[in-house]
């Protein structure tokens, strides 16, 4: 850490302490494993290294303005996102995470006897809301390569289909559909129904976005988030990229379009986009920690799906004990998943130190 940064941190700590702010707001990483009973959170695919140093500074610099509504900051954020993707601000709608964007799409396509075509398994958290809106899920199993079966999905579109949801890279498998095939699929499927492309993890996989398709086609929505590689899950910033007409339609379901994003979250997101060094470091850490885990899985003869994201799905059929509980007893939090007729665990990549601890505990349990 440079002297000037240390100095800045010390000054900011003193200023914040006098205001009653918690000193760990300035901690280098959001989770540490220094003390034995601290939780190691590997269950939500967050970025253990975030927020980025530039985002932390932006938050501290901006908090005194939170007596004002965020309009100006929101416009600046939209302009920044627009220039990042070389699109127009009319192609962007902000939401409280990409979850809100998926929810708006579900609201838009709701209707009696309507269904959403989704992969199985795929990201599911929003399914409860969609079902509450009357939508049913038509789940199409992933193919043998554990990626979306695009052929099968295309031929499954029928008059009931309100939307096709594709998560690429996919959660929970961490796998990626070939982008050329996905482009072709999206163009074809959008002739018949709304296509929603969830790009929450594209940065980890170095995948190009389908944003260019979405801005010219009223039947395609691309969703992005600041919750993953940008390390801002708690700030709740996501956005839709779509044709201006679709942006207007989705924004119509929000009480105040774009303004679920707070002023603090907006400045954090803008700074995160600028902090390319931090993003590169996080991607490198994710690759390093995945290799640590793969080595442990191979050692223990546990099957896993090679991942292009910041999480890995590995098979725990051979583990007799309640694996998640065993992990929890050691303050490590992972997700149990029942997929492909077996027992699996989805583990998110934490810091290098956290993943070494995870592997050590994994070995003792196995």
Which positions touch ligand PLP (CB under 6 A)? Answer: 45, 97-99, 123, 167, 171, 198, 200, 225, 227, 233, 238
Task: Give residue for tokens 């944003």.
Answer: 211
Question: Please, what is the minimum distance in Å from the beta carbon of residue 38 to ligand PLP?
Answer: 22
Smaller CB separation from ligand PLP, 312 or 366 = 312
Question: Please, what is the minimum distance in Å from the beta carbon of residue 171 to ligand PLP?
Answer: 4
Question: Please, what is the minimum distance in Å from the beta carbon of residue 232 to ligand PLP?
Answer: 9
Smaller CB separation from ligand PLP, 231 or 296 = 231
Cross-strand bridge partners of residue 163: 116, 194
Angle 352-365/276-299 helices, nearest 10 degrees? Answer: 20
Smaller CB separation from ligand PLP, 73 or 239 = 239
* CA–CA dist 104, 196 (Å, integer): 11
Smaller CB separation from ligand PLP, 9 or 237 = 237
Smaller CB separation from ligand PLP, 115 or 198 = 198
Question: Please, what is the minimum distance in Å from the beta carbon of residue 224 to ligand PLP?
Answer: 8
Structure tokens at 118: 């989704």
- Is the bond leading into 321 cis (omega within 30 degrees of zero)? no
- Spell 20-45 as b/e; 16+ CB within 10 A means b: eeeeeebeebbbebeeeeeebbbbeb
Smaller CB separation from ligand PLP, 43 or 217 = 43
Smaller CB separation from ligand PLP, 166 or 246 = 166
Question: Please, what is the minimum distance in Å from the beta carbon of residue 297 to ligand PLP?
Answer: 21
Question: Please, what is the minimum distance in Å from the beta carbon of residue 57 to ligand PLP?
Answer: 22
Q: Name the residue number minimizing CB distance to ligand PLP.
A: 97
Question: Please, what is the minimum distance in Å from the beta carbon of residue 320 to ligand PLP?
Answer: 29
Smaller CB separation from ligand PLP, 167 or 176 = 167
CB distance 105 to 246 below 8 Å: no
* CA–CA dist 244, 215 (Å, integer): 7
Mapping DSSP to helix (H, G, I), strand (E, B) and coil, where does residue 88 land? coil
| CA 22 vs CA 84, 149, 359: distances in Å | 33, 48, 32
Structure tokens at 54: 């530039």
- Is the bond leading into 169 cis (omega within 30 degrees of zero)? yes
User: Any idea what the Cα angle at residue 78 is, between residues 77 and 80, rounded to 5°?
Assistant: 65
Question: Please, what is the minimum distance in Å from the beta carbon of residue 123 to ligand PLP?
Answer: 4
Task: Give residue for tokens 């969703």.
Answer: 223
* CA–CA dist 96, 60 (Å, integer): 21
H or E element that contains 18 = helix 3-18
């Amino acid at each position: 850490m440079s002297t000037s940064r240390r100095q800045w941190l010390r000054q900011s700590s003193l200023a914040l302490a006098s205001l009653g702010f918690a000193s760990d707001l300035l901690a280098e990483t959001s989770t540490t494993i220094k003390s034995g009973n601290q939780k190691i959170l590997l269950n939500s695919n967050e970025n253990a290294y975030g927020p980025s140093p530039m985002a932390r500074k932006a938050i501290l610099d901006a908090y005194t303005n939170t007596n004002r509504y965020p309009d100006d900051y929101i416009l600046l954020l939209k302009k920044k996102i627009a220039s990042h993707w070389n699109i127009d601000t009319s192609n962007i709608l902000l939401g409280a995470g990409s979850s809100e964007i998926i929810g708006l799409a579900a609201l838009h396509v709701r209707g009696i006897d309507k269904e959403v075509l989704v992969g199985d398994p795929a990201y599911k958290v929003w399914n409860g809301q969609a079902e509450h809106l009357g939508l049913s899920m038509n789940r199409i199993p992933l193919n043998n390569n554990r990626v979306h079966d695009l052929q099968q999905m295309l031929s499954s579109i029928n008059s009931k289909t309100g939307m096709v949801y594709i998560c690429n890279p996919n959660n929970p498998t961490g796998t990626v559909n070939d982008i050329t095939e996905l482009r072709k699929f999206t163009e074809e499927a959008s002739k018949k129904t709304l296509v929603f492309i969830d790009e929450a993890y594209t940065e980890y996989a170095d995948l190009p976005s389908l944003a260019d398709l979405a801005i010219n086609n009223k039947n395609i929505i691309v969703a992005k988030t600041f919750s993953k590689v940008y390390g801002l899950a708690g700030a709740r910033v996501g956005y839709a990229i779509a044709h201006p007409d679709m942006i207007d339609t989705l924004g119509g379901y929000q009480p105040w379009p774009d303004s679920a994003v707070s002023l603090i979250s907006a400045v954090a997101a803008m700074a995160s986009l600028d902090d390319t060094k931090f993003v590169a470091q996080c991607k490198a850490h994710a690759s390093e920690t995945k290799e640590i885990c793969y080595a442990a899985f191979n050692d223990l003869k546990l099957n896993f799906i090679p991942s292009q994201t910041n999480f890995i799905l590995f098979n725990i059929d051979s583990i007799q004990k309640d694996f998640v509980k065993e992990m929890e007893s050691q303050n490590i939090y992972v997700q149990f998943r029942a997929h492909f007729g077996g027992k699996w665990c989805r583990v998110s990549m934490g810091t290098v130190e956290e993943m070494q601890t995870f592997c050590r505990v994994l070995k003792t349990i196995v």
